[in-house]
Chain A
Amino acid sequence: MTDIGSTPAELPGKAHGRSGSLLTESPMMKSRNAAEFRFRAYGLTAIVVALLTLAITLFTIVRDGTPAFFQAKLTYQVFIDAAVVDKNGTADPVEMAKVTTIGYARLLSNSLLAYLDEKGVAVEGMTDKEITDMISKDAPARLRDRVLADPSLVGQTITVKALVGGRIDGYLKGRVTRESSANDSNVTPRQLDMADRMVEAGILRSGFNWRFLTAPDASDLRPEAAGLGIALMGTLYMMMLVLIFTLPIAVAASIYLEEFAPKNWFTDLIEVNISNLAAVPSIVYGILGLAAFINFAGLPSSAPIVGALVLTLMTLPTIIIATRSAIRAVPPSIRDAALGVGASKMQTVFHHVLPLAAPGILTGTILGLASALGETGPLLLIGMVAFVTNYPASPLDGGFMDPATALPVQVYSWASRSDPAFIERSSGAIIVLLIFLVCMNIVAILLRRRFERRW
């Protein structure tokens, strides 16, 4: 018998210090409620702090990086003087290739001076050299490529869009100011005045910078010309190869371990090893890649194929773990039913288990690829943190063997350059990298939402 019922007189008794109603708080309940309130507050603070950090990071990256997507260009008429670019009048590109970019730089400079004269754009006390220094060092190379590709341009006057130097571009973007230019050895206040005049005259215009996404890297003398083209291609090649390498291996390994392998100490050992490998720092794989693929197997350094092999080793354990849990999530009743109607073990796996596990496998793979996408450490050691300006060939021509870089290493190498214009490009590259990551994660989420089945 309980003693509560036996002494009804004492039940709600205030003599014991208990409140009579649930609605009035006792001191104990008060402290419990306060504890809960505090706990919620801690949780909320944690989330606010996390969101704030994210917001600050995104804000600074977007603020610093957005200008990289815009670039100022000079648009003016250039007379392609045959006396400079084709002295012998052969119109033969091989012969004309002997004229270096120095010759084309002179063409661009002279034409700009003449064009400014014609338009009456001038700044008091400005030397010709100051004006011509405003043209990017990249412009002659572009013009040379254009003329060599089409020798019929010789002797004509053509409209040229030439990049303007990094500091002038920085002035239009607000990075370089008149105060800073007074102390800056690479730009004079007169050049900034000239830039203002040119903008008024419509010669200098800022526009969306497609070349940031397509052009190759550039040296420290011409930050305005640097682009992500090769890094994007290198990343794309690597991701393709990583997908091709990891998916079959991961799926085969997981199916075998989950469906066929006997449960004994050996498979346990494999399982522990896979979990451990997933936690190995990525730089270790870089050292392994250098020793195994470059020094031993003799693959070329800086090549996407080596990068892909290293990243494959790095992501395999993660993808195997994800794939195994996806396979494990398929209920045994499905297998039993298939086996019950006479399917072989292999038919069961390939006709029933694998299709049902596919969304989970794909999600795991995409998330694994996304982590490989942002990896820099292992690539440092296999020579992908390099200055590369030749596009790799198409995959069919052995492009996987050509030197290339990758998005995250481009961020790293730009961040350590001395010209401040590269800092802006580095942030711009981060934006591109983040867009990639977000896209991949969205695809993973969509796949999961669309195809995932719950039992």
Chain B
Amino acid sequence: MSYMKLTASTLAIAALSATTAAARDNVQIAGSSTVLPYATIVAEAFGENFDFPTPVVEGGGSGAGRKKLCEGVGANTIDIANSSSRIKQSDIDACAAAGVTEIMEVRFGYDGIVFASDINGPAFELTPADVHAALAAKVVKDGALVDNTAKTWADVNPALPAQDILAFVPGTKHGTREVFDEKVLIDGCEANGTAAAHKAAGAEKVGKECMALRTDGVSVDIDGDYTETLARVDANKNGIGIFGLSFYQNNTDKLRVATMSGVVPSTESIASGEYPISRPLYFYVKNAHLGVIPGLKEYVTFFLSDDMAGPDGPLAAYGLVSDPELAATQAMVEAETPMGPLE
């Protein structure tokens, strides 16, 4: 039957191209959805201006990307893992076990994390201490640790608007949550004295106690992306959402950003270190693929060029805070220096 012939010939073609597929001609990238827009901007410009095909960029999350990177060496594994948090020792061990011994760590900039509420709502001037006092499960009241019962922001700090507390916090699988935990909750916990109270109460892990959020519905975990957070803020005008700076900059017509400790978040205030909540963005390159996958080295070099990652480049225009030490990173990529052990 003709079906049989068709199937047979298709399988033959498939088998034929499978053998040639070993020499993949496009760069493959996967990982953090925060880094994804930057990576696609670079990939697009790279495809336009170079003779190489446009790299294929996947999302999937930082952890998933690093795991894929560490699956092994060869054309059917990815070349670059995007990550919004630093690689972990467990990843490095997994990589080494699979034969991926040399990884290049590239830090290409910083991402700010902002608190923003509905554009028509009141302005918020937050501090980590206020945020912690509003959202933490246990707070200090009259010197004793009690369950948090604050209803409005004014209950927490009379200077804040008397608006019901409602926060849309990134879910625990997000890299953003880690930064929120460390830079807002733990710092705030120490600033408003709750950490000391936990210590006095004999808590074993003060940090863990500080990061525990209220479970009475005022703090909502968002496991989707920022689009979902925006939709929630849109539907619930009392809500304050936590966004990446670049996402906020693309939606300034719907969101009003809160200052943190008196500093307005912007690429400048983050670059100068004034704005406290930011995190470095990385990508990890499999050195064994350099020179094997066409265009890999060129893509990495192009990504870090001043035209792209520099303070006036398109990435900064999209909301990336350019790394002041970009020149050092460029030199490192030029020399293909693999990363040393984690400090």
Q: Interface residues, chain A, CB within 8 Å of chain B?
A: 97, 100-102, 137, 141, 144, 176, 180-181, 183-186, 218-222, 241, 244-245, 247-248, 294-295, 298-302, 305, 380, 383, 385-390, 395-396, 398, 400-401, 403, 413, 415-420, 423
Contacts and interface: CB of A to CB of B under 8 A. Distances in A.
Interface residues of B, number: 59
Given A300-B21, A401-B21, A185 B249 contact: yes
Contact of B20 (A180, A184, A398, A418): A398
A241 B6 CA distance: 10
B49 A387 contact: no
Contacts of B1: 248
A417 B227 CA distance: 7
A244 B12 CA distance: 13
Contact of A298 (B18, B30, B40): B18
A218 B44 contact: yes
8 contacts: A219-B37, A220-B318, A244-B6, A387-B58, A389-B54, A401-B18, A417-B37, A418-B246
A420 B254 CA distance: 10
Contacts of B36: 387
Interface in B11-43: 13-14, 16-18, 20-21, 24, 26, 28, 30, 33, 36-37, 39-41, 43
Given A144-B48, A247-B3, 14 more contacts: A180-B253, A183-B253, A184-B253, A218-B44, A220-B41, A248-B1, A298-B18, A305-B14, A380-B60, A383-B28, A383-B30, A387-B40, A387-B58, A398-B17
A390 B47 contact: yes
Contact of A400 (B14, B254, B317): B14
B179 interface: no
Contacts of B39: 387
Contact of A241 (B10, B48, B57, B78): B10
A300 B76 contact: yes
B253 A418 contact: no
B58 A418 contact: no
Which of B37, B56, B71 counts the most chain A CB atoms within 10 A?
B56
Given A220-B318, A298-B76, A387 B43 contact: yes
B250 interface: yes
B226 A418 contact: yes
A29 to B, nearest CB: 51
A418 B251 contact: yes
Contacts of B253: 176, 180-181, 183-184
Tell me what chain B mostly uses at the interface: helix, strand, loop, or mixed: helix
A221 B58 contact: no
A395 B7 contact: no
Contacts of A183: 119, 252-253
Contacts of B47: 389-390
A100 B49 contact: yes
Given A386-B56, A390-B26, A219 B41 contact: yes
Contact of B227 (A219, A300, A418): A418
B223 interface: no
Nearest to A422: B227
A245 B7 CA distance: 7
A244 B59 contact: no
A188 to B, nearest CB: 12
Contact of B56 (A218, A247, A387): A387
A408 B308 CA distance: 31
Given A220-B41, A220-B250, A295-B71, A386 B58 contact: yes
Contacts of A403: 26, 28, 56
Specify which of B4, B14, B36, B54 lies most central, judged by the most chain A CB atoms within 10 Å of its CB.
B14
A401 B43 contact: no
Contacts of A101: 45, 48-49
Interface in B197-254: 224-227, 246-247, 249-254
B249 to A, nearest CB: 6
Nearest to B39: A387
Contacts of B4: 248
Residue from A101, A301, A380 whose CB has the most chain B CB atoms within 10 Å:
A301
B54 A388 contact: yes
A97 B48 CA distance: 10
Given A220-B318, A300-B24, A389-B47, A416 B56 contact: no
B147 interface: no
A181 B253 CA distance: 7
A436 B57 CA distance: 27
A149 to B, nearest CB: 14
A46 B107 CA distance: 57
A180 B318 CA distance: 19
Nearest to B54: A389
B140 interface: no
Contacts of B254: 180
B18 A299 contact: yes
A292 B252 CA distance: 46
B24 to A, nearest CB: 7
A349 to B, nearest CB: 13
A201 to B, nearest CB: 27
A103 to B, nearest CB: 10
Given A144-B48, A300-B75, A385 B17 contact: no
A81 B63 CA distance: 48
